[in-house]
Structure 1
Amino acid sequence: MSAAPPPAATIGEHHADVAGGWLRPAVFGTMDGLVTNIALIAGVGGGGAAAGSIVLAGTAGLVAGAISMAIGEYTSVRAQNEQIAAEIAKERYELDRHPEAEARELAGLLVGRGIPADLAEQVATALRDRPEAALRMHVQEELGVDPDDRPSPWVAAGSSFSCFSVGALVPLLPFLLGFGQLWLALAVGGAGLFVAGVLVARFTGRRWWRGGLRLLSLGALATAATYLVGRLVGAGVGLS
């Protein structure tokens, strides 16, 4: 005897929220905050700056980066939503003016997805008399988006701002706690990178240790590059 299907109320509950507009800016914000401030601290410290100067530079980098990330996310998500709204308005206009042609177009799209031609024509014909349902179907098929489920630019901005701030704060913690060793700040930042990589891997279903090592390796490359630049510039201006 085959197993009974799961109750309808439980279907889909295991899926993550991928359309809310917060996950991508949260991930990028945390990563950018960590990498940016670790590299900034490495460059300034490598140039021979004192602990107070490193804290000043790191704090400025945290504030400037968080604001920049928030503005960028807000602008990009709002521009995307406005573009989608314009395309939806265009599709609505075509449905109002040319319903027969749009029905044939939708039937062709459904056939292209493997639906039998007669069934695709029946669906398109039925939707022709239901303008809102037809609009939703056209938008989903032609644009690949749900017109009723678009990300919020404010959520994206807030998520990016807060997560960048948290990430950028991690390598500053040793200095703020009274430790003046550059290597300790870089080690704490490296641990933060590894943890961030593990968390991303948990969201995406990848192996946790690969995610951690990948982000740690990329951060190490950025840190090494800025440290070397800091050493060279510091020597050129007489700081190191």
Structure 2
Amino acid sequence: MSDELAPGVPHDSDGEIGHEHADVTGGWLRPAVFGAMDGLVSNVALIAGVAGGTAASAGTKPVILAGLAGLSAGAFSMAVGEYTSVASQAEAAQHEIHKERREIQRNSAGEQAELAAMYVAKGLTPELAAQVAEQIHEDPEQAVAVHAREEFGIDPDDLTSPMLAAVSSFIAFTIGALVPLAPYFFGVSSVWPAVLVTMAALFACGAVVTQMTSRAWWFGGARQMSLGAAAAGITYVVGSLVGTTGA
């Protein structure tokens, strides 16, 4: 077999592939990103709402208390939600994998023909597709893995860990939720430093996320910052109205 790469495939001077792909399927990435964003937005909105509805004479204690309560409740809620969601998804995937394993055990010839037909649909000749399917079915577990990937897009060896998703979400949410609280820990009495720090953090998070997408860094940052600002602004107004009415 020739060692030459296909024309147009990037490679270095040694003939190796010259690019790498980011890990976009890992079990920690999505919950970590979502948790950090949610922690930033939800807690700055909560803090802004409480600050808007609290009289200046009350000081910052109610705002800090609300922020800490929002951090604790949100972090545990995110962790539990991620664990339950990912565990349920993994259990559903395992159910389908077990079903495919039983079908291969009961009707190996039929499943082999089904796999060959899928490869023909992908562009292989019927003869080559039959040979590939036959070779794959020589190992029943390999056949299960291939059928799972081809039929319902699941890699049995790459199922997301519910615990990893939960821990990632919990830690990321906690870090995000601490950002709008940080200025108050240094004696700030106004809500605006907390809002400005959070907007900067949201812009940075949005810009970082675009490194794994095709969006420009400034677009991702501005989008995330504007959404967070809208959430904080709306809850501040609602807090002010409720506080005024309650007074």
- Give the TM-score taking structure 1 as reference length: 0.92
In structure 2, what residue type is equivalent to 1:28? F
Please, which moves more after superposition, 116-125 or 60-69? 116-125
User: Which residue in the other structure is 2:162 paired with?
Assistant: 153
TM superposition shift of 1:4 = 9.8
SS in 1 for 2:87: helix
User: Which residue in the other structure is 2:97 paired with?
Assistant: 88
Q: Can you give the 5+ residue segments of structure 1 that lack an aligned partner in the other structure? A: none
Structure 1 distance, partners of 2:188, 2:25, is: 42
TM superposition shift of 1:224 = 1.5
In structure 2, what residue type is equivalent to 1:222? A
TM superposition shift of 1:85 = 0.8
User: Which residue in the other structure is 2:125 paired with?
Assistant: 116
2:100–2:148 CA contact under 8 A, matched in 1: yes
> Counterparts of 1:163-178 in structure 2 under 5 Å?
163-178=172-187
2:11–2:17 CA contact under 8 A, matched in 1: no
Question: Aligned Cα RMSD in Å?
Answer: 2.0
TM superposition shift of 1:15 = 1.7
Please tell me whether residue 23 in structure 1 is matched to residue 26 in structure 2.
Answer: no
Which of 143, 148, 152 is the matching residue for 1:143? 152
1:47–1:230 CA contact under 8 A, matched in 2: yes
Which of 170, 194, 197 is the matching residue for 1:185? 194
1:20–1:152 CA contact under 8 A, matched in 2: no
Structure 2 distance, partners of 1:184, 1:227, is: 14
User: Which residue in the other structure is 1:46 paired with?
Assistant: 52
TM superposition shift of 1:155 = 1.1
TM superposition shift of 1:207 = 1.2
Distance 1:4 1:92, change over 3 A: closer
2:11–2:18 CA contact under 8 A, matched in 1: no
TM superposition shift of 1:135 = 1.0
Please, which moves more after superposition, 116-125 or 131-140? 116-125
1:95–1:102 CA contact under 8 A, matched in 2: yes
2:27–2:160 CA contact under 8 A, matched in 1: yes
Please, which moves more after superposition, 60-69 or 113-122? 113-122
Structure 1: 4+ residue segments shifted above 3 A: 2-8, 10-13
Structure 1 distance, partners of 2:103, 2:132, is: 18
SS in 1 for 2:129: helix
